Chain A
Amino acid sequence: MPDKKRTVRVPIGPQHPALKEPESFMVDLQGEKITSVALRLGYNHRGIEKGCEERTYMQDLYLVERVCGICSHSHATAFVQAVEEIAGLEIPRRAKYIRTLIAELERVHSHLLWLGVAGHEIGFDTLLMYSWRDRELVMDLFAELTGNRVNYAMNTLGGVRRDIAAEQFPHILKIVDALEERTKYYIELAMTEETLAQRLSGVGRLSKEDAVRLGAVGPTARASGADRDTRRDDPYAAYDELEFRVITDDRCDVFGRAVVRLGELMQSYSLIRQILKQMPEGPIAVKAPLKIPAGEAVSRYEAPRGEDVHYVRANGTDKPERVKVRAPTLANTQSIAKMLEDGYLADLPIVVAAIDPCFSCTDRTIAVRGGRDSKTMGWEELVQYGVRWYRERGVDPSRIKVRGDESA
């Protein structure tokens, strides 16, 4: 009997065994069933957007790259595309192809990582070991091509920093072949092995209507039958010259999300082969100005986890006036609550993991509306407040210079 009094509220997180990142889920339970979930973000706020305003565009590139460890190239490319649009830079075709190559390799390593994490969350650790072993091939390839395993630092304003020599192509193809064979095995495994299918089918359901209404992106949306992919809908880099299929699935559950990601892996291998075949000759970068003319731009990018949006406003100096990052996980967090409803508590880790969350990328400052003592202050007021606060505690802040006073 559903009885309001029998509802038990269980706080899961910020520190919890389900994920490596802190996030708080307030779960209302009736027996084993989840009736509602309240999420709270903001435990990992790092102030990157504000940090970007204090650094030059070139320095921002390396800061933005560190928004996310897994999709580092995604964030850097989304940012650099926005800045290039403001500055009116046309980057060389070869640079576009190299950016696309790194992007697809990144998708390969991200999806393999997800497959392992998903396996781990359902207690299938053999899959974790296998897929992470295979992922090492891509990581080593990154170290060779870009000079780092995680933060590739491949982008620069107006192109890319490193060329990929023709001698390296056979090695890339060899690794792609090896990975393709392994992925085929995983697909066969997912389709025939009862452990995966039984554990994942019907878990974390998200209908197509809900996916669209809640603004889900990436594999989460595509596994609910929402056919959206920025690479096709709003082509950037070299995607308009390449052939690929957008993988969708109508299972609407965690199994569907696994199927979509495995299918996307196969598409990525095909894309990498096409890129290496069609890679044009020419320069890899054009000269970029230090000062970017005033203007604003929004850049969309299909990260492995979904659509990544960067907004940059320039004011004519060498530093941006505003940088806004909308990480894919932020778009997908809304749908987590929907997926968990009417599910079992034991499914929470895999349902949350199924959107491939990256909470550190997502975290922004949060304003507590209507909370006790909450108040909005302007800069002047804040300075006055700070001066008063210190004076009450016996500190004389009059000799401390603040930014507002310098011009006076």
Chain B
Amino acid sequence: MARTLWRRPGRMVPSLLRSLFRHPATTRYPFVKWVMPADFRARPVVHTENCIGCKMCVRNCPSGAIEIEPVGEKRFEARIDLGRCVYCGRCAEVCPKKTIELTKDFELAALDRKTLKVVYDAPPPPAAAANPEAGPERDAGG
């Protein structure tokens, strides 16, 4: 140890001086957007128009964050609690119709847990606009 006492004191000074003229390592974050790489796993989005209601995502979710509710014939509404979601992407992996997609939108902070519960509405009834009599009611009658 004694030999280190007189050798090169202030070993870090050149590096410190160099840092004075470097760009800062930090960014002005909220003002300069930070973009995550393409395959980043963040906010899950459900494209409900392809959903077949098999509930594979519900069964496989490690944290029980997904709910799939039927709202009509072959129409399903998806609810994801982003506060419970662990962003593992397992739901997107097991979905047979590739309905769920993990986007790279990572800015999900909220002041209220309730706002983290996201509802993806079911698609409109397929023939509702063209033929008002088509839909669940007709099936119930017939």
> Which residues of A pack against B, CB within 8 Å?
55-56, 58-63, 66, 126, 130, 133, 136, 143-144, 147-148, 151, 153, 161-162, 185, 188-189, 191-194, 197-198, 201
Interface residues of B in 62-119 (CB under 8 A from A): 62-63, 86-90, 93, 102
> Can you sample 18 A-B contacts with CB below 8 Å?
A59-B60, A59-B62, A62-B62, A130-B15, A133-B25, A144-B39, A151-B88, A153-B88, A161-B89, A161-B93, A162-B39, A189-B11, A189-B12, A192-B11, A194-B4, A197-B4, A198-B5, A201-B1
CB distance from A167 to the nearest CB of B (A): 12
Provided the pairs A59-B60, A189-B12 are in contact, do residues A148 and B4 lie with their beta carbons within 8 angstroms?
Answer: no
How far, in angstroms, from A130 to B18 measured CA to CA in the complex?
12
How far, in angstroms, from A58 to B63 measured CA to CA in the complex?
12
Q: Is the CB of A136 within 8 A of B25?
A: yes
Chain B CB within 10 Å — which of A60, A62, A198 has the most? A62
How far, in angstroms, from A259 to B26 measured CA to CA in the complex?
29
Which of B9, B37, B87 interacts with A194 by CB under 8 Å?
Answer: B9
What total count of A-B pairs have CB within 8 Å? Answer: 71
Q: Is the CB of B11 within 8 A of A193?
A: yes
| A192: nearest chain-B partner, CB-CB | B8
With a CB–CB cut-off of 8 A, which chain A residues contact B120?
none
With a CB–CB cut-off of 8 A, which chain A residues contact B89?
147, 153, 161
CB distance from A191 to the nearest CB of B (A): 7
Q: Is the CB of B1 within 8 A of A147?
A: no
How far, in angstroms, from A151 to B89 measured CA to CA in the complex?
11
With a CB–CB cut-off of 8 A, which chain B residues contact A188?
11
With a CB–CB cut-off of 8 A, which chain B residues contact A193?
4, 8-9, 11-12
Which interface class (under 10, 10 to 19, 20 to 34, 35 or more) fits B? 20 to 34
Provided the pairs A126-B12, A147-B40 are in contact, do residues A194 and B5 lie with their beta carbons within 8 angstroms?
Answer: yes
How far, in angstroms, from A61 to B1 measured CA to CA in the complex?
47
> Chain B 28-64 against A: per-residue CB contact (8 Å), 1 yes, 0 no?
0000000011011100000000000000000011110
Q: Is the CB of A126 within 8 A of B88?
A: no
Q: Is the CB of B1 within 8 A of A197?
A: yes
| B94: nearest chain-A partner, CB-CB | A58
How far, in angstroms, from A161 to B89 measured CA to CA in the complex?
10
Q: What secondary structure prevails in chain A residues at the interface with B? A: helix
Q: Is the CB of A185 within 8 A of B41?
A: no
Q: What secondary structure prevails in chain B residues at the interface with A? A: loop
With a CB–CB cut-off of 8 A, which chain B residues contact A59?
60-62, 90
How far, in angstroms, from A66 to B37 measured CA to CA in the complex?
22
| B61: nearest chain-A partner, CB-CB | A59
How far, in angstroms, from A56 to B63 measured CA to CA in the complex?
11
Q: Is B7 an interface position by the 8 A CB rule?
A: yes
How far, in angstroms, from A193 to B90 measured CA to CA in the complex?
48
| B87: nearest chain-A partner, CB-CB | A148
With a CB–CB cut-off of 8 A, which chain A residues contact B4?
191-194, 197-198
Chain B CB within 10 Å — which of A55, A61, A143, A191 has the most? A143
| B10: nearest chain-A partner, CB-CB | A193
How far, in angstroms, from A161 to B92 measured CA to CA in the complex?
12
Chain B CB within 10 Å — which of A61, A63, A153 has the most? A153
Q: Is B16 an interface position by the 8 A CB rule?
A: yes
With a CB–CB cut-off of 8 A, which chain A residues contact B63?
62
Q: Is the CB of A62 within 8 A of B8?
A: no
| A126: nearest chain-B partner, CB-CB | B12
CB distance from A213 to the nearest CB of B (A): 27
Q: Is the CB of A148 within 8 A of B90?
A: no
With a CB–CB cut-off of 8 A, which chain B residues contact A185?
15
Provided the pairs A59-B62, A153-B88 are in contact, do residues A144 and B8 lie with their beta carbons within 8 angstroms?
Answer: no
Which of B1, B16, B62, B88 interacts with A55 by CB under 8 Å?
Answer: B62
With a CB–CB cut-off of 8 A, which chain B residues contact A161?
89, 93
With a CB–CB cut-off of 8 A, which chain B residues contact A130?
15
With a CB–CB cut-off of 8 A, which chain A residues contact B11?
188-189, 192-193
CB distance from B86 to the nearest CB of A (A): 6
Shortest Cβ-Cβ A-B pairs, 6 listed: A59-B62, A193-B11, A62-B62, A147-B41, A144-B37, A133-B25
| A161: nearest chain-B partner, CB-CB | B93
How far, in angstroms, from A198 to B4 measured CA to CA in the complex?
9
CB distance from A113 to the nearest CB of B (A): 16
CB distance from B108 to the nearest CB of A (A): 13
Chain A CB within 10 Å — which of B4, B11, B60, B88 has the most? B88
Q: Is the CB of A66 within 8 A of B40?
A: no
Provided the pairs A59-B60, A161-B93 are in contact, do residues A192 and B12 lie with their beta carbons within 8 angstroms?
Answer: no
With a CB–CB cut-off of 8 A, which chain B residues contact A56?
60
With a CB–CB cut-off of 8 A, which chain B residues contact A133?
25
With a CB–CB cut-off of 8 A, which chain A residues contact B88?
62, 151, 153
How far, in angstroms, from A59 to B86 measured CA to CA in the complex?
11
| A156: nearest chain-B partner, CB-CB | B93
With a CB–CB cut-off of 8 A, which chain B residues contact A136?
25
